[in-house]
Amino acid sequence: MMFGERSTGGPRHAGVPPTSPAPLTTYEDRLDREKVWALSEGSRHFEDRSAVHDALRRIAARLDELTVPYAVVGGMALFHHGLRRFTEEVDILVTPSGLETIHSRLSGLDYFHTFAQSRSLRDANTGVRIQFLLTGDFPGDGRPKPVVFPDPALVSHVEDGVNYLNLLTLIELKLASGMTNPGRLRDLSDVLELTRVLKLPESFAADLNPFVRAKFLELLEAGRHT
């Protein structure tokens, strides 16, 4: 999951229809049950050929068809920016109106709801979960803070036909998430690894939101000594 977003519970969202039949086997279940296949799937992931990559390309094309602004976040955004690791789902930032369009136009076609009250959909072809995050929500503990999930149209760039969250915003959101939610310390670790992999300079901090700037510099320094 991304930035503390939960897959169950919470209020019902406008435009979310009742739960549809889910695929017989989810992607996570198959990874757990078919060990040999899971190993080969891991290899395919680092060759951009896994089911998650297929699901990402498919949902990106559908969102473009619907003219829904979006930005890929989470593990696949990290992968895009150079921190290459395996992930089981696709995380996408959309606006509330965009989410309503997604649920009303895509549900029951090639996508199914995981739960009646969930924002997420599941790709019926691959079993991969598509997790949606909303503009205006707050990362980490969900409480108001200077860093907020922005409008994806303002913070994304296109590569190979897919809109990805830019690096600066990705780092800001991960820092704010890890700083305010003890259960999201992995987000701070992700930023630490990004500073190492990308060899980010200290000057990068100048463009970050002041709320997270000191934590970035702390992690940057820690990365130099580990």
Query: How many structural domains are present in the chain?
Result: 1
Domain of 154, CATH number, reads: 3.30.460
Domain extent for 109 = 27-166
User: Does some domain include residue 124?
Assistant: yes
pLDDT score of 7: 37
Angle between helices 210-224 and 167-180 (to 10 degrees): 90
- Both structure tokens of 70: 């979006």
pLDDT score of 24: 55
User: Does some domain include residue 216?
Assistant: no
User: Does some domain include residue 121?
Assistant: yes
- Both structure tokens of 63: 């969102």
Closest by Cα among 88, 73, 89, 90 to 190: 73
User: Does some domain include residue 225?
Assistant: no
Give the residues of the chain that fall short of pLDDT 70.
Answer: 1-24, 226
pLDDT score of 4: 45
Provide Rg for the chain, Cα atoms.
Answer: 17
User: Does some domain include residue 3?
Assistant: no
- Which three-class secondary structure state does DSSP give residue 160? coil
How many CB atoms neighbour CB 139 within 10 A? Answer: 27
User: Does some domain include residue 131?
Assistant: yes
User: Does some domain include residue 158?
Assistant: yes
Residue 32: DSSP 8-state: H
User: Does some domain include residue 197?
Assistant: no
